[in-house]
Structure 1
Amino acid sequence: MGLRFTNSTSDVFKARKTPPAHYLLKIQSFSSLSRSSLEKYSSDKFDVGDYKWRLTIYPSGNKDRGGQDHISTFLTLVNTSSLPVGWELHAVFNFFVYDQLRDKYFSLTDNQLRRFHTMKTEWGEAKFVELQVFNDSSNGYLINDACVFGVEVFVLKQTRKAEWLSALEKPNTGCYTWPIKSFSSLTLDRYDSEGFVIGGYIWRIRIYPRGIGDGKGNSVSAFLSLDESSLPLDTRLVVRFTIRVLDQNEPKADSFEVTRDNHFGASCLAWGVQMFMPLAKLNDPKQPYLVEDNCVVEADVTLFGTVSTAS
């Protein structure tokens, strides 16, 4: 007969030859332990993943958690007072019992992934193995009144990051208009407008008159940039913006524009389009965008909210 696990989710078990990697608890005179007034036995502390743990066995079951007629096993994180405020960790663990006749270690099929924190430092299996099965020496778990339990613990490295989106009840919007004179005389690779404030942050329109990247030599590249000095630490802005070149004959009728939705933050302070407006289109005298070598670039900015991040 094989070991029968009767936890609430599965009766499936698995066997292997390899002992548990992290801790073994060998018990002599198990019957004496189970008859004693000692409700549970906790092992010595052992180290895994820079943390200290104990394996706890309830020889007659943890009745407070419904473990009557079973052996209960629990894993406890100890010495937590030395951990930083607000600590938490996730660990995958599995309990084992040794079949001494067949030289195999049995455990539940599914490893346990649990979150340990200040309010929850112990997890386990109230119904790890039935006492009736365990006490039957033909099953190999209790031989000459001796038995062996074990546990493996794998602490997951904390790489998760979190973010908090604070959406504005009413988005902040604004518009800035930038007249550019003598466009053909612009000799620098990049030009920035004066700073303008929308939503409490400082913005600038940025253009590359002869383009950059895919737009180099064939287009005007245009971007909206955020002044980092106005941005709080670990904060991103949720923004929709439109950059346009105005039709100087009918500014409200036929502008050339693009619209983008982006997050502005320390890792990316400028967003835009490398191939914003073809130079051929801008320089075409039949088009209303460059008049007497002057053009007008405009930016609409809508701030929808802020995102703060933390590890």
Structure 2
Amino acid sequence: MISKLEATNEVFVCKEGNTGKGESLLMVKDAITYKQQSRIEKFSKLDVECYDTQAFNAGDQKWKIQVYPKGKGTGIGTHISLFLALADPSTLPPNSKIYAKFKLTIVSQTNSNLHQSRTETYWFSASKKECGWNRFLTLDYFDYPSLGYLVKDTCCVEAEVTIHGVASRT
């Protein structure tokens, strides 16, 4: 997993005095931002709680955007929910985590000044495989025709992912 990350610069090892266990942290120097855009057609006809985009590579992992067309959690029935998730968290080495900064966007297809974006940094792991927003964008705002988020029953979502570090227990 770490071997493919290019331009690494620092490794820290911290040990607990009693157990001899520690954690190593590999930070990525000059981190690369990976960008992926996905089109979701027949959006109003989606009959799933969560729609997963096609997996894409960022760093040494596969990722996906999760779209909840009718919301999730506190956003059910009022908002579109958007999350970034590890596509296959089982491929992570045991006890490892990935420190990533990401931005998710719902793209306006008619006005480049109206994109709706949110940014977050998060430690992803096999047990914490997704991060995002239950209340990303209200359904009313999303459906408003002149804003261009839903055009001919198609919407576009985008992820920008930058891997800043990888931690693992020793």
Please, what TM-score do these two structures have when normalized by structure 1? 0.47
- When residues 247 and 210 of structure 1 are mapped into structure 2, their CA distance, relative to the original with a 3 A threshold, is same
The reply to whether residue 293 of structure 1 matches residue 169 of structure 2 is no
- In 2, Cα distance between the equivalents of 1:230 and 1:277? 32
Which among 169, 173, 179 is matched to residue 39 of structure 2? 179
8 Å contact 1:214–1:274 — kept in the other structure? yes
1:243 touches 1:258 (CA, 8 Å); kept in 2?
Answer: yes
Provide the alpha-carbon RMSD of the alignment: 1.8
Aligned counterpart, 1:241: 102
Residue of 246, 263, 271 corresponding to 2:123: 263
Alignment of 1:215 with 2:65, yes or no, is no
1:278 to 138, 141, 153: 138
Superimposed CA distance per residue, residues 40-83 of structure 1 (whole angstroms, 9 cap, x where no aligned partner): xxxxxxxxxxxxxxxxxxxxxxxxxxxxxxxxxxxxxxxxxxxx
- Runs (5+) with no aligned partner, structure 1: 1-87, 91-157
Structure 1 pair 206–161 and aligned structure 2 pair: CA distance change class (3 A): farther
How many angstroms apart in 2 are the aligned matches of 1:278 and 1:162?
A: 44
CA 1:287–1:89 in structure 2 vs 1: closer, same or farther (change >3 Å)? closer
Give the structure-2-normalised TM-score.
0.84
Structure 2 Cα separation of the partners of residues 89 and 209 of structure 1: 49
Please give the per-residue CA displacement for 1:140-189, whole angstroms capped at 9, x wherever unaligned: xxxxxxxxxxxxxxxxxx5x963221101121320111101111111111
Q: Distance in 2 between matches of 1:279 and 1:161?
A: 48
Secondary structure of 2:121's counterpart equals strand
> Does the residue aligned with 2:114 lie in a helix, a strand or coil?
coil
After superposition, residues 170-209 of structure 1 pair within 5 angstroms as: 170-209=30-69
Runs (4+) of structure 1 moved beyond 3 Å? none
Matches within 5 A, 1:1-311: 162-226=22-86, 227-251=88-112, 253-310=113-170
8 Å CA contact 2:114, 2:147 repeated in 1: no
Structure having greater relative contact order (Cα 8 Å, sep ≥ 6) = 2
1:89 & 1:244 partners in 2: Cα distance?
45
Cα distance 1:207–1:161, how it changes in 2: closer, same or farther (>3 A)?
farther
CA distance in structure 2 between the aligned counterparts of 1:293 and 1:180, rounded to whole angstroms: 8
Match of 1:49 in 2: none
Assess, with a 3 A threshold, how the Cα gap between structure 1 residues 233 and 285 changes in structure 2: closer, same or farther: same
Question: What is the aligned length?
Answer: 154
Instruction: After superposition, give the CA deviation of every residue in 1:175-230 in whole Å (9 maximum; x if it has no partner).
Output: 11110111111111111011101112100000111011100010011100012133
Q: Is the 8 A contact 1:171 1:305 kept in 2?
A: no
- Residue 60 of structure 1 aligns with which residue? none
Structure 2, unaligned stretches of length 5 or more?
1-15
DSSP-derived class of the 1:171 partner: coil
User: What's the offset of the Cα at 1:281?
Assistant: 0.6
TM-aligned CA deviation for residue 263 of structure 1:
0.4
Percent identical pairs in the alignment equals 33
